[in-house]
Amino acid sequence: MHLAIASPTTTWYLVLASLLFAIGSVGVLVRRNPLVMFMCIELMLNAVNLTFVALARKLGDIGGQTTVFFVMVVAAAEVVVGLGIIVSILRRRPSATADDIAELKG
Amino acid sequence: MQLFVFVCAAAMILVGAIGVIVRSHPVHAALSLILTLFGVAVLFVAQEAHFLAAVQVIVYAGAIVVLFLFVIMLLGVDKAEALRIDPVKVQRPLAVIVGLGLFGLVAAAIVRSRDSLVVRGRGIDIASGDAGHDSNIRQLANDLFSNHVFAFEITSVLLVIAVVGTVLLARRPRSGSATDPSAGSK
């Protein structure tokens, strides 16, 4: 039964995506640089995208890929707004960490 | 062959993801993020989502990571973060426990419910010969512009709002309010 193990199934993709999501969540919890926390949020979004694409293939429904398209657009908008906020904070205090900006008042 | 592609892409994804969270230098973390995004794009191709793989490379690796690098370099925050010191004593072990628990629970749910996935739709028939080489884009466009056309239009409004809001946020304060010495030094 060499053919049975020769092709990765949907379960493998989902487990890989959950591992990626867990790594991203650990990064958000551990890191204090707001830029790196943003990158970890991107990791989590990519894990969810991978889940959508794998299930779209498995279930034979193109709607999963459409959802990934929208997730990408919203992620781009989120990154643009978030980096704008980070730029305006870090310009004022160049070495701010997430602990220093716990309150939104600049 | 598919197994080989999956294993290589999974190794890229995991090495990049761990690199993002353990590299203390933000530029190195951004470059590790590129590795992860390319691995995800490879898996998109393996799952026959060709259009999304192209968008992944162009938008994520091309635009978003470059935006990160621009912000890192323009603001001069490319100093290594002191990862040795832990501000809250139990934060890191607790975070690792939370991550492992999250992965364990989700993976257990996935493995338990792996037999309950049934095919309902018409199928993404890339593999069939009569579909043509661009059938993924055609199916995606059919779905996007028929079932989700209103959401697609709303998306354009979202992007305009994001651009205008960012311009407003990142704009420099007027010269009259020069109370902050670091504001005008850039």
The model's pTM is 0.85
B173 in Cβ contact with A81 (< 8 Å): no
**Confidence at residue B176, expressed as pLDDT on a 0 to 100 scale:** 53
pLDDT of residue B92: 85
Predicted local distance difference test score (pLDDT) of residue A90: 78
The pLDDT, as a whole number, for residue A16 is 94
The whole-angstrom distance between residue A6's C-alpha and the CA centroid of its chain comes to 29
Least Cα separation, residue B21 to chain A (angstroms): 5
Chain B residues 66-125 with a CB less than 8 Å from chain A: 67-68, 71-72, 74-77, 79, 81, 87, 91-92, 94-96, 98-100, 102-103, 106-107, 110-111, 114, 117-124
Question: To the nearest whole percent, how much of chain A has pLDDT over 90?
Answer: 46
CATH class of A9-92: mainly alpha
Mean pLDDT of A68-80: 92
Residue A101 pLDDT more than 80? no
With 60 as the cut, is the pLDDT of residue A51 above it?
yes
The answer for A 49-88 residues in CB contact with B (under 8 A) is 49-50, 53-63, 65-66, 68-70, 72-81, 83-88
pLDDT at site B134:
74
Count Cβ neighbours within 10 Å for each residue of B7-41 and write b for 16 or more, e otherwise.
eebbebbbebbebbbebebbbebbbbbbbbbbbbb
Q: Sort out which chain B residues have CB atoms less than 8 A from A3's CB and list them.
A: none
Which residue has better confidence, A37 or B74? Answer: A37
Distance from CA of A19 to the nearest CA of B (A): 6
pLDDT confidence of residue A4: 53
Q: How confident is the model at residue A10 (pLDDT cuts 50, 70, 90)?
A: confident
Which pLDDT belongs to residue B182? 46
Q: Does A24 touch chain B (CB under 8 A)?
A: yes
Q: How many helices (H) and strands (E) does chain B have?
A: 7, 0
- Give the pLDDT score at B124: 60
Residue A103, pLDDT score: 62
Q: What ipTM was predicted for this assembly?
A: 0.87
- Average of pLDDT values for A62-91? 89
For chain B (length 186 residues), average pLDDT per consecutive 10? 91 94 89 94 91 92 90 77 70 89 92 76 52 78 90 93 89 60 43
Q: Token digits for B6?
A: 């999956």
pLDDT of A63 > 60? The answer is yes
Handedness of CA A49, A54, A57, A61 (dihedral sign): negative
Q: Is 80 exceeded by the pLDDT of residue A48?
A: yes
pLDDT in the model for residue B75: 79
Q: Which residue has the higher pLDDT, A105 or A74?
A: A74
Q: How confident is the model at residue A70 (pLDDT cuts 50, 70, 90)?
A: very high
Q: Which residue has the higher pLDDT, A89 or B155?
A: B155
In this predicted structure, what is the pLDDT of residue B178? 46
Please count the other Cβ atoms lying within 10 Å of the Cβ belonging to residue A89: 18
Looking at residue A89, what is its pLDDT? 80
What single DSSP character describes residue B115?
Answer: G
